[in-house]
Amino acid sequence: MNEMSLSDDELMAELTLLAARFDPVPAEVVTKAQSSYASGSAWDTALAKLVYDSTTDQNDTRALVRAGPGARDLTFQAPELTIEVEIGPSDSSRQGHCQILGQLVPAGAASIEVRLPGGSFLVRADDLGRFAVEDAPPGPISLRCTPAGTATTDTEWILI
C-alpha cells in the first residue's frame, strides 16, 4: 500500500507497530503502571507538582542562603499540601547516597513513604511536619505523604 493512501487510523497503527519494535516501553515501566492502576492510588491521591528546584533556578539567590554546599532545594505543591525538601550529601560511606530533610506545610505528623524503583520504605514526619531520610540511594524517587486526617499526596518523580 502506498504511504500516501493510508488513512489516519492505518497510519497510527503503523506508527504504533514501529514504536513497539524500535522503542519498546521497558517492562519495569509497564509493571509499575499496572501496579499503580490496580491499587487505585492514581485516582485517590493528589499529585504535588515540582514548582521550585534550586538547580534549575540560577537567578534565585535564596538557594545560596538556605542550602549548604552541594545541597539542592525542592518545593512540591498540591492543593492542600506543600512539601519542601533539601537534598544533600549523606554521612553514609556509600557512594552517591543522599540525605533528604523535609518539611510539610501545613505542619503536622504524617507517614512518608519513600518510593524507589525497587521498592519503598517509611519514615515519619513529626508534629511540626519535619522528616529526614538519612541514606537515600541515587536514582528516581518520589514521596507519598499521608498526614493524619488528610488525603494522601504523591510528589512527582525526580532524579537524585
* pLDDT tens-digit readout, 54-65: 988 766 555 455
pLDDT score of 111 more than 70: yes
Q: What confidence tens digit (pLDDT) does each residue in 25-42 have?
A: 787 776 666 555 545 455
12-18 mean pLDDT: 84
**By mean pLDDT, which of 55-69, 77-91, 112-126, 143-157 is the weakest?**
55-69
**Residue partners of 66: CB distance under 8 A and separation at least 6:** 73, 86
The number of C-alpha atoms within 13 Å of 104 and in the hemisphere containing its C-beta is 30
Q: What is the pLDDT of residue 12?
A: 84
The greatest distance separating any two alpha carbons of the chain, rounded to the nearest whole angstrom, comes to: 67
Q: Which of 124, 146, 158 is nearest to 80 (CA)?
A: 146
Question: Mapping DSSP to helix (H, G, I), strand (E, B) and coil, where does residue 145 land?
Answer: strand
Cell match 518520589: residue?
A: 142
CA 66, chain centre distance (Å): 22
Taking the C-alpha atoms of residue 82 and residue 79, their distance in angstroms, rounded to an integer, is 8
Residue 109: the pLDDT is 97
**Mean pLDDT for all residues in the chain:** 84
Q: Of the given ranges (2-11, 33-42, 66-75, 119-128), which has the lowest mean pLDDT?
A: 33-42
pLDDT band at 8 (very low <50, low <70, confident <90, very high): confident
Quote the cell numbers at residue 23: 522503542
